[in-house]
Amino acid sequence: VETVEELCTLIRTSITWADNEIPLDITPDTELLAAGLLDSLTIRRIVANLADEAGIAIPKSQVVAANFRSPDDLWRLVREVRDASEPAAG
């Protein structure tokens, strides 16, 4: 997951869409929580997929509303987690 657009794709594929439902386009500013797109299982799936596909371990303490309101919010967290896990330059 190198861009916020790739994160949007990961979120879109983590959501279980009903048979009669056309998967919505997820954009960086999609209101994920307000639109009711994230139930508890989907949130766990997104966290698991970020770990499996991008090696990004979201701390449990960061699984809070402020980080899941939109892909932009989650992208900010992903970058913070990634920066914190990379060794300091020099």
Say how many residues touch another protein, by CB under 8 A: 18
The DSSP 8-state label assigned to residue 57 in this structure reads: -
CB 43, min distance to another protein, A: 7
- Nearer to another protein by Cβ, of 16 and 27: the residue is 16
**CB atoms < 10 A from the CB of 8, how many?**
21
Q: Which of residues 28-57 bind another protein (CB under 8 A)?
A: 31-34, 36, 38-41, 43-45, 48, 52
Q: Which of residues 66-85 bind another protein (CB under 8 A)?
A: 68-69
- Residue 33 in 3-state DSSP? coil
- Please, which residues have CB within 8 angstroms of residue 11's CB and are 6 or more apart in sequence? 26, 32, 46, 71, 74
Interface residue list for another protein (CB under 8 A)? 31-34, 36, 38-41, 43-45, 48, 52, 64-65, 68-69
